[in-house]
Amino acid sequence: MSLDTQQLLEFDRKFIWHPYTSIENPLPVYPVESASGVRIRLMDGRELIDGMASWWSVIHGYSHPVLVQALQEQAARLCHVMFGGLTHEPAVDLARLLVDLTPAGLNRVFFCDSGSVAVEVAMKMAIQYWQSLGRPAKNRFLTVRSGYHGDTFHAMSVCDPVTGMHHIFAGNLPRYLFADRPQVGFHDQWDEADIASFAALIERHHDELSAVILEPIVQGAGGMRFYHPEYLRRVRTLCDHYDVLLIADEIATCFGRSGKLFACEHAGISPDIICLGKALTGGTMTLAAVLATEKIGEGISAGDPGVFMHGPTFMGNPLACRVAVASINLLLASDWQKRVLAIEQQLREGLSPCRDMAHVLDVRVLGAIGVVELQEPVRMERIQAAFVQRGVWVRPFGRLVYLMPPYCMEAADLALLTLALVEVVAEEGKT
């Protein structure tokens, strides 16, 4: 039995938990009928220009015919098969692509279900690697403040303890090391003092550190900041010097979001382990991947129990792998760098009026990412409604009002999106 819009909303409100909401006092939700290109169509007929790319993943827009066709063809052939003891062409094709495209040396591929799980997998790899080498004391992690790495249990332990949204779990999480967040912005002049906190911690604790984990260049949900490439280069050098692995969490930045295919490319470095997600399938299916070096693969395999101890039920799902291959090839066949650069320039121009607003702390842009940071947190219910009334979908959090549009967004739609953001931010300062 189908429900009308009101019945759907009533059931949703009573029984369904949405991300970061109260089940007893939930925020309003907007029922979606369909989505195509850069527009989300609500059940009441309104259309919203999507400025979020569905949490940064739908880089080609919704219902792209190439991705839909890939799903349909794969569904008719093989929807799923266990990955234990079996393999299939979509997984092999995707692994070959990832090994070819990711920074040099990453040639061992592990498929998993989501970004948070990818971080869990990477952290387990690091711990098991040192365990296998007979150095079990190297079982802690170093990261930087203002980082965010996901909502699962071990991933929470390396999120910023204040801005990472998980402070209430602090007493139940492993206690790891946090260097001061990078202060020098992406476009600023490098200051050697910026690496001092990190350098002091890795020097003092390297004997107990399995890995450093950080988001290269772009810190996402922990603060939406863009730091200097030299910081990442120095981190790589220090990890090499002190024999500590480097995990790059590229879940939010992979496949072009920062203006490079992978954000590590801004610094010209290769991590020991990389986590990929979000845009991996063009936002069509849930899928993530962790790539490691041959050294890590051999190290884990050489020790007890001789196998990597992780194996999700839906690992290497053929539907997800097939659409990921289609999405990556679609991206590579396009002039995506030119398009992201055009979005960057338009975001910089379109958001610039916010710089003159007294209640705005900062405006920053990198690649297809535009951020307006306010002095005070937004009132979510009011600001969300204000965006919907203007025909756009923008989902702020905390003090951050930001845009990460699909790469296919045309200039006219992006102009409407930035105008709406400027108007709503201006209103936020009046009340």
Residues classed as catalytic: 20, 148, 249, 278
CA angle 175, 177, 181 (to 5 degrees): 130
Q: 406 pairs with which residues across the strands?
A: none
Note the Cα 219 to chain centre separation in Å: 9
**Contact present, 418 and 76 (Cβ < 8 Å):** no
β-strand pairing of 245-249 with 273-276: parallel
Q: At what angle do helices 336-351 and 411-428 cross, to 10 degrees?
A: 30
Tokens 């020097």 belong to: 203
Residues near 5 by Cβ (< 8 Å), separated by ≥ 6?
31, 43, 44
CA angle 248, 250, 253 (to 5 degrees): 145
Alpha-helical regions (H) of 196-251: 196-205, 229-241
Distance between first and last Cα of the chain: 44
**Contact present, 104 and 283 (Cβ < 8 Å):** no
Tokens 């991996």 belong to: 280
**Contact present, 202 and 238 (Cβ < 8 Å):** yes
Tokens 């986590």 belong to: 275
User: Which residue in 148, 153, 122, 181 sits closest to 55, CA to CA?
Assistant: 148
Rounded to whole angstroms, how far apart are CA atoms 410 and 119? 34
Handedness of CA 379, 165, 162, 57 (dihedral sign): negative
Alpha-helical regions (H) of 218-317: 229-241, 294-302
Backbone φ, ψ for residue 66 (5° rounding): -65, -40
Number of DSSP helices (H) and strands (E) in the chain, helices first: 13, 16
Distances in Å between the alpha carbon of 85 and those of 108, 251, 301, 304? 17, 28, 17, 21
DSSP assignment of 105-146 equals: TEEEEEEESSHHHHHHHHHHHHHHHHHHTT-TT--EEEEETT
Rounded to whole angstroms, how far apart are CA atoms 248 and 265? 11
